[in-house]
Structure 1
Amino acid sequence: MKRFLYGIDFGTTNSALAIFDEETKEIHSTIIIPSLIYFYQQPNPGNAKNYVVGEEAITAYLNDNMKGRFIKSVKQVLSRSSFTETRIHNKRYNAADLVALILQELKERADELTGQDCRKAVIGRPVFFDDDDTQKDTLAQTRLSKAAALAGFDDVRYQFEPIGAAFAYEKTLLKQEHVLVADLGGGTTDFTYLILDPAKVGSKNRKNDMMASGGIYIGGDSLDSAFMWEKGTPYFGKHTQYEATPGKILTVPKSLFANICSWEQMNFFNGPRIKKDIEDYYYFSGQDRKFKNLITLIDHNLGYSVFQSIEKTKITLSNADTAMFSYHNMDIDIEEQISLPVYEQIIAKDVNRIAAYLDDFMAQNNIAPQNIDSLFLTGGTSMVSSIQALFKTKFPHVNVNSGDNFKSVAKGLAYSGYLFED
């Protein structure tokens, strides 16, 4: 019987699994799904699973008129000690429970292809789940380990995601190189500086080749949140005024709108106290039309569809000078042309933070730009024009390479079987 190893890249936006044949030492196949979970509005008593994962979650969400619980970016709650659990259909789900649903879906699809119950996996993790906070990082790792066990994996090793990306790139090389790998995903941006050598592919000990790793808690979701704050929230009443007491006019607190700019908060933005506050603001604003959009957004669980429009705008601006930020649903009407300079200004703060972190990373690890032979960029956020410009400006003498932005990490993790040689 063939032996298989699964390389799993559990991502904020998408998750991928590469099936590695341990006999042929080759990738058998790769699966990729959106990191989405949808719980039906009405549980089906005859069906033990009242949820769907991946592409089917989007279809079910739309077919259910967007009335159930739609959960996205669950990876970002792994390090959040403030998130303990959420109730869905009178059942409690903690962070590990939610992550396990996605890992289990990947495992079931892969097992169907291999015909085996594979329990051996190398699972990727960011260099830092939440910047340099050791306590949060430990919490996230503990939760991820528990999720892996719940999903049916009992022989697991963990590998930094950018190292996984590096090993995928190494398979394409003809000679030894000093490589700076940047993995720009939905939740984090991770860097690894290492020696890659095609002669060492599959070697058991690569510790001496790993010269430096680091990361920052900024990714594609951060860019989307910044865009939502600047261009989205005005359509949901960010500047709404209300009459607090007779003759006293105030503006609705900005903190209210921060909640709809962050997916991990929007997923659980349905408490009775918040809803009561929103209804009061709406009443005392004289039923402001744009503020009504906020109520519609929350009551009908439209967050995912709004962020889909933001994502589409971002992707378009990766290859064009202008894009339409367009959203029309349930009396919410947004149609605004966004130029590339405007978009770049919106995301500049986050891009500058990535640039500053990269400078610190290189300085602290004594990495001289002239010693870098090549750059390898992976992850969906690496396609953003400002990110591309950042690397080309900092390293004008270095070739910028990229692989499959959504499968490279999973494949590289599958090539990390040496981790099981204890």
Structure 2
Amino acid sequence: MSRLFPGLDFGTTNSTLALCAPGGAPELLAVEDEHRTIPSALFFSLEDGRTYFGRQAVFEYVDGAEGRFMRALKSILGTSLMKETTQVGRERMTFEDLVGRFLSNLRRRLEREAESHGVDTDSIVLGRPVRFVDESDEADAAAQGQLESAARAQGFRHIEFQYEPVAAALYYESTVDREQLAMVVDIGGGTSDFSILRLSPERARAPDRSGDILGTTGVHVGGTDFDRLLNIAKMQPLLGLGSATADGKRRMPVWYFNDMATWHRINTLYTAKILADIRALKKEAGEPAKLGAMEHMLLHRSGHRLAGAVERAKIALSNEAAVPIALHEPGLALDALATREEFEGATTELVSRIEGSIEAALRLAGVASGEIETVILTGGGAQVPAVKSAATKRFPDARIALSDAFGSVGLGLGLDAARRFG
């Protein structure tokens, strides 16, 4: 039996785990029931004391179970939040512990597979964005160190990292029949990465591909940022964003609403102090009903339910000109209509940053846009029409390869693991 080696794509929104034998084809492992992706989410139940993962975590939270919901933990790596602790049930946990708790679930799935299929559970190739943190090399290095530490705490002894866009290219390369230059556009949940690589069947067999990576850049923009700006534009005004005090002298502080629209910040609002702040603002507000809706959001911990409704609308806007966004629960009814034009207007700055990073990758590689023969699109955010247009308009003659939006990085990491450890 050929030994299998694992690659793990720990994503902001979804995660995958792939296995590959040396010289073989990688396969995604079913990581949640029959599903080959798992939402990167945890729910700590105060009702039964259990920790739920993935879709089950989302279900428990949306179903109204009492507990703590965590999502988009990857976005916290390298930030100041990693130095803090947060209350989870009766204990306080570091965010590195929380990342480790999620990885432990995937580790258990790997160990079950090892019993019958000869999986090497000591070794792992982890994906990483080109940039965890844009503005600081020190913070970016710290982010990788934190992810490595969390993985090592779960029992992995030999840990290697591969850039996520490079992993996507490695998987695509198995289908090419001649040498070519490719631009990989990986729009993930929290980051966007761009790499220019030289691909060929012969080069695919080389153990070290560093010389074929001609240029790689990244920016801390991803799918959750598009969610956040759509949320701020269409839903947060219903909770009081932009409204004034009754005397008209000042407007509501914006940071409460910005945090309510940001996946990994929502849980930080669920404190007695924040609730007291909103109740005090409600008394001064010119539109107290809106602050009352915000009060409800805090009391019933509805932030992620609203964020989920916004995310679904964002996805629908890829195919529709206008979609409703709604959150209805006892005591609360929020309704808005979002158009694609409004969405693209709200996210212009994000698309501009993506375009700038693509230009930077071309300059770094010393490659003209006309030399790119294939553009490989991966990641859920690449399905957004404005993003897809920004990623492809410089390359009118290139082939556009739409890879598995959520699986190509994991498959490439599995292939890389087999080459490194096999």
TM-score (norm: length of structure 1)? 0.92
| Residue 192 (str. 1) matches residue 177 (str. 2) | no
Is contact 1:19-1:27 (8 Å) kept?
Answer: yes
Question: Alignment partner of 1:224: what SS?
Answer: helix
- When residues 218 and 248 of structure 1 are mapped into structure 2, their CA distance, relative to the original with a 3 A threshold, is closer
Question: Alignment partner of 1:204: what SS?
Answer: coil
Task: Give unpaired runs (5+ residues) of structure 1.
Answer: 45-49
Query: For residue 85 of structure 1, what is the aligned residue in structure 2?
Result: 85
Question: Alignment partner of 1:58: what SS?
Answer: helix
Structure 2: how far apart are the matches of 1:131 and 1:287?
38
Question: Alignment partner of 1:241: what SS?
Answer: coil
Can you list the C-alpha shifts for 1:209-263, whole angstroms capped at 9, x where unaligned?
Answer: 11111100001011111111111111111133335xxx67432112221111212
- When residues 286 and 321 of structure 1 are mapped into structure 2, their CA distance, relative to the original with a 3 A threshold, is closer
- When residues 394 and 4 of structure 1 are mapped into structure 2, their CA distance, relative to the original with a 3 A threshold, is same
CA RMSD of aligned residues (A): 2.1
Structure 2: how far apart are the matches of 1:387 and 1:93?
37
Query: For residue 312 of structure 1, what is the aligned residue in structure 2?
Result: 312
- When residues 42 and 410 of structure 1 are mapped into structure 2, their CA distance, relative to the original with a 3 A threshold, is same
Query: For residue 151 of structure 2, what is the aligned residue in structure 1?
Result: 148
Is contact 1:72-1:267 (8 Å) kept?
Answer: no
Question: Alignment partner of 1:56: what SS?
Answer: helix
Is contact 1:67-1:300 (8 Å) kept?
Answer: no
Structure 2: how far apart are the matches of 1:260 and 1:381?
21
Structure 2: how far apart are the matches of 1:337 and 1:312?
13
5 Å-filtered alignment, 1:58-69, equals 58-63=58-63, 65-69=64-68
Is contact 2:244-2:251 (8 Å) kept?
Answer: yes
Task: Give unpaired runs (5+ residues) of structure 2.
Answer: 30-35
Query: For residue 43 of structure 2, what is the aligned residue in structure 1?
Result: 38
Deviation at 1:285, TM superposition (A): 2.8
Query: For residue 279 of structure 2, what is the aligned residue in structure 1?
Result: 279
Of residues 214, 219, 236, the one that matches 1:216 is 219
Deviation at 1:67, TM superposition (A): 3.0
Is contact 2:282-2:292 (8 Å) kept?
Answer: yes
Can you list the C-alpha shifts for 1:1-56, whole angstroms capped at 9, x where unaligned?
Answer: 6422111000000000001134x623244332000000112353xxxxx3111111
Structure 2: how far apart are the matches of 1:190 and 1:102?
24
Deviation at 1:287, TM superposition (A): 7.8
Can you list the C-alpha shifts for 1:346-385, whole angstroms capped at 9, x where unaligned?
Answer: 1111111111222233224322111111110100000000
| Residue 177 (str. 1) matches residue 176 (str. 2) | no
Query: For residue 292 of structure 1, what is the aligned residue in structure 2?
Result: 292
Deviation at 1:335, TM superposition (A): 2.8
Query: For residue 47 of structure 1, what is the aligned residue in structure 2?
Result: none
5 Å-filtered alignment, 1:9-408, equals 9-22=9-22, 25-30=24-29, 31-44=36-49, 50-63=50-63, 65-83=64-82, 84-115=84-115, 118-242=121-245, 249-285=249-285, 288-408=288-408
Deviates more, 1:348-357 or 1:362-371: 362-371
TM-score (norm: length of structure 2)? 0.92
Amino acid at match of 2:393: T
Is contact 1:107-1:151 (8 Å) kept?
Answer: yes
Identity of aligned residues (%): 28
Is contact 1:17-1:410 (8 Å) kept?
Answer: yes
Deviates more, 1:372-381 or 1:349-358: 349-358
